[in-house]
Amino acid sequence: MTITSDGFLHKYFLSNSTKRLHKWVHYFDIYERHFSRFRGKGPVMIEIGVFGGGSLAMWREYFGKDSKIIGIDIDPECKVHESDGVEIFTGSQDDPDLIKEIFKKYPLVDIVLDDGSHMMQHMVSSFELLYERIQPNGIYMVEDMHTCYWAEYGGGLRERGSFMEYAKGKLDELNAFHSRDVLPVSTFTKSTDCIAFYDSVVVFERRPQGMRQALITTAMNGMS
């Protein structure tokens, strides 16, 4: 596996001796590829799912002292993991009132990482509550997508309602301009640059989109 950037996150994980930190090793390359542009720029990040608090501490260290790391978890005991630059909100990831509360305090969010319940209905609801609220050049990442194939999480291969099938539908929405009016050009179409799929991870990169243009270039007259 090739570690992009300076491999900070991978090294941090391997040398971690403080709070519990549980990650699939191949995630670190994905994190660095998509998150490195925010390092040292004081981003605001929401991570859904706190548990042992180790990843919140990791993100704070990775992004720098001016960053704000926000955790969401249903367990009130997770508040013990708050620290300088790290704030934890108690509640369900699909609670509209909780999301409004967070964005009232932090109106400009750069990154959302869903590492929460991994239940299909929660993943879809969280995306629909959060995606269009994050800043126009932000990132929405969902990990542990393998649960999309597990029945106990509401998933299954090509199961309607799974987040994997939902994300596949977003591929069509991304290309709605070319659908000859079968699909409407949506806010998602206009605000999304790319969707990247990895083993167990999907990443949505936001970026305002302009009119699609197909140009033709050729040689000047009399020249080959």
Distance of CA 54 to the CA centre of its chain: 18
pLDDT recorded at residue 145: 96
Query: What is the C-alpha to C-alpha distance for residues 65 and 83, in angstroms, rounded to an integer?
Result: 12
Beta-sheet strands, E only, within 44-200: 44-48, 68-73, 86-90, 111-114, 139-142, 192-198
CATH number of 43-206: 3.40.50.150
Supply the pLDDT for residue 224.
Answer: 54
Question: In terms of DSSP bridges, do strands 44-48 and 111-114 run parallel, antiparallel, or are they unpaired?
Answer: parallel
Mean pLDDT of all residues in the chain?
Answer: 91
Q: Which two tokens stand for residue 13?
A: 């994980």
**pLDDT given at position 3:** 39
Per-residue pLDDT tens over the stretch 14-27: 776 677 777 778 99
**Which one is predicted more confidently, 1 or 81?**
81
Distances in Å between the Cα of 155 and the Cα atoms of 14, 57, 86, 93 are 31, 31, 32, 18
Over range 207-215, report the average pLDDT. Answer: 87
Q: Mind listing the pLDDT tens digit for each residue in 112-146?
A: 999 999 999 999 999 999 999 999 999 999 999 99
Q: Which residues are catalytic?
A: 118
Q: d(Cα 36, Cα 137) in Å, to the nearest integer? A: 14
What residue segments make up the domains of the chain, in order of their start? 43-206
Q: Whole-prediction pTM value?
A: 0.90
**138 CB-near residues (< 8 Å, 6+ apart):** 109, 110, 111, 112, 206
Residue range 38-95, pLDDT digits in tens? 999 999 999 999 988 888 999 999 999 999 999 999 999 999 999 999 999 999 999 9
* Cα distance between residue 23 and residue 160, in whole Å: 27
**Residue 101 confidence (pLDDT) above 60:** yes
